[in-house]
Amino acid sequence: MKARIHTHKGIILATLIVGMVAISCTPKSGSDESANYPTEFTLTKGELLDKIKGGWAGQVIGCTYGGPTEFKYKGTMIQEYIPIVWDETRMEWYYNHAPGLYDDIYMDLTFVDIFEKEGLDAPASSHAHAFANAEYMLWHANQAARYNILNGMEPPASGHWENNPHADDIDFQIEADFAGLMNPGMVNSSSEVCDRVGHIMNYGDGWYGGVYVAAMYSLAFYSDDVDFVVSEALKTIPAQSQFYQCIDDVIGWCAEFPDDWQRTWFEVEKKWSSDIGCPDGVFTPFNIDAKINAAYIVIGMLYGEGDFGKTLEISTRCGQDSDCNPASAGGIVATMMGYDAIPDYWKQGLNRVEDMDFKYTTISLNDTYEMGFGHAIEMIQRNGGKAEGETLTIPLQKPETVVFEKAFEGHYPIQKINIPWNSNSLTAEGIQETSIDFNGKGFTIGGGASKLHGVEKEQELIIDVYIDGKLYETATLPTWYQSRRHEVTWKYNLENGDHTVKIVWKNPMKGYQVNVRNMIVYGPDPV
């Protein structure tokens, strides 16, 4: 048993390294103590590599552990009596049989690979086109951004809420780990990387989720105080944003109910579980919003108190996106403790997959460790740090708040109009247009293009969308799932009042149809 002493924030913290870190659940947001921490710190190259390996391995472990529960518990926690299996076969099974589980990792690796090939100044456009043309399947903000990019819209427009109805979703939050892991202690450098990459698919609270998670990773290289990392990273987020307010509430509730994570979970549900943006989550228990899933990450971290297994257990049992959330929480905590300190129980089976390439890549975990270490060394030197033999002197950046953005401002979901499937499928043989009346200031229409049974060839179906008799857009609806448009059409910032949307299928062909399933209507005030 070895005692490690950390000096920062003008205080000395002593922790015992026994595969966990014992830390009390006492929030420090709003404290001025952090203003006194030093401008630099040191790690050996071995320690840096150990932490980078911990961050990546922690993600894989957390994602695997929560995998069987993903979105099976929506609006409810996973009760303690419900078992979640863990053994040495779990990771290898998912690698071989359900590799799509690891979208948290291979999405990150798309951006890591671009930095490896083009250098650390690689522009947003390089990341965007690699991401849009990759073979893997995407959903929500990622898929909406992919469609935008494939159809000529570049970032940051591809992630802006008026062009992407999923702008506040979790997507960049689960993909931002790399930005923090390549910027040890350099939280503002991490935010700059997030600005380049995160606006490909997200905006506002959706973007803040990635900035915040990356900031926690960055600070995890410096401190193993969970409370400090959680609260200090939050300083990168504008206080007027709902994302900040949600996480700040979690920190406060943790202090109020220090022995009852379920009580904090209930408080989060009462105040923050209403989804405004995502058309799939409005008026349903499904919630892929970034801020509430980030709240589950933080609940896991604060109540986990630095214990890796306890952190995974709690963040998973919060429900909703319950593989991504323990992946983020586990990755951050494992960065604090380092790869070697992850308990053997949780590393069982890891050695079986570390040389296996992630699906859709030619990159394994062992490759990722090596690339991540090289990028971190370069970032340290770029930011004024030094490498002298085995010792690294690393700049410790005081977090700066990123720009304020708010998606869906002045828009509140007020109605869901379910449209009967049969009467509103536009077909080559019959109906080729449909109209929908509503009262509000914005809308999204769910559905898409599809092939009928027995048809093999993919096609691009073309629609004209008219709003109040005027042509609003001509849109392509691919039948191929990989390049699909996530919604049929949408429009925000209309004048509040009565409107009519008409959809006309311009190139009807036998064996295909345009499906119009439902409309989410937005008004200027909540109902």
* 400 located within any domain: no
Which of 102, 163, 112, 111 lies closest to 132 in space, CA to CA? Answer: 111
Percent of the chain with pLDDT over 70: 93
The answer on 450 and 388 residing in a single domain is no
Structural domain including 419 reads 412-523
- Model pLDDT for residues 99-139, shown as the tens digit of each residue: 999 999 999 999 999 999 999 999 999 999 999 999 999 99
> Same domain, yes or no, for 373 and 502?
no
Q: Is the pLDDT reported for residue 175 higher than 80?
A: yes
Q: How many domains does the chain fold into?
A: 2
The CATH number of the domain holding residue 280 is 1.10.4080.10
Report which of 174, 210, 295, 197 is spatially closest to residue 246, judged by C-alpha positions: 295
Same-domain check for residues 422 and 281: no
Is 129 contained in some domain? yes
326 and 436 part of one domain? no
Q: Is the pLDDT of residue 21 over 90?
A: no
Q: Do 500 and 386 lie in a common domain?
A: no
Whole-number pLDDT of residue 8: 30
**The domain boundary residue, chosen from 347, 364, 395:** 395
**Residue 402 counted as domain residue:** no
Sign of CA dihedral 83, 87, 93, 94: positive
CB neighbour class for 370 (10 Å; exposed up to 12, middle 13-18, buried from 19):
middle
343 and 460 fall within a common domain: no
Residue identified by tokens 């456009």 is 125
Give pLDDT, residue 157: 98
- For the stretch 456-495, what's the b/e string if a residue is b when 16 or more beta carbons lie within 10 angstroms of its beta carbon? eeebebbbbbbbeeeeeeebebbbeeebbbbbbbbbbeee
Specify burial of residue 419 (Cβ count, 10 A radius: 0-12, 13-18, 19+).
middle
Q: Which residues contact 26 (CB under 8 A, 6 or more apart)?
A: 227, 255, 258
Read off the amino acid at residue 193. Answer: V
**Which of 363, 395, 427 is a domain's end point?**
395
- The answer on 115 and 49 residing in a single domain is yes
Q: Are residues 186 and 270 in the same domain?
A: yes
| Residue-level pLDDT at 421 | 57
pLDDT tens by residue, 421-432 = 556 788 888 889
487 inside domain: yes
Token digits of residue 355: 């040389």
Q: Both 358 and 448 in a single domain?
A: no
Q: How does strand 470-478 pair with strand 412-418?
A: unpaired
Same structural domain, 230 and 315:
yes
Residue 3 has pLDDT above 80, yes or no: no
> Does 122 share its domain with 264?
yes
pLDDT of residue 28: 41
Q: Which pLDDT does position 231 carry in this prediction?
A: 98
Determine the pLDDT at residue 13: 28
Residue 23 clears pLDDT 50, i.e. is over it: no
Residue 406 domain flag:
no
Is residue 363 domain-shared with residue 429, that is, in the same domain?
no
**pLDDT band with cut points at 50, 70 and 90 for residue 16:** very low
For residue 397, the 8-state DSSP code is P
Q: Which of 395, 429, 448 is the last residue of a domain?
A: 395
pLDDT (tens digit, 9 = 90+) per residue, 362-415?
A: 999 999 999 999 999 999 999 999 999 999 999 999 999 999 999 999 999 999
* Residue 228 pLDDT exceeds 90: yes
Domain harbouring 431, CATH code: 2.60.120.260
User: What rounded mean pLDDT belongs to the chain?
Assistant: 92
Please state, for a pLDDT cut of 90, what percent of the chain lies above it.
Answer: 90
- For residues 394 and 184, the answer to whether their CB atoms sit within 8 Å is yes
Amino acid 36: pLDDT: 73
Domain for residue 405, yes or no? no
Q: Is residue 448 part of a domain?
A: yes
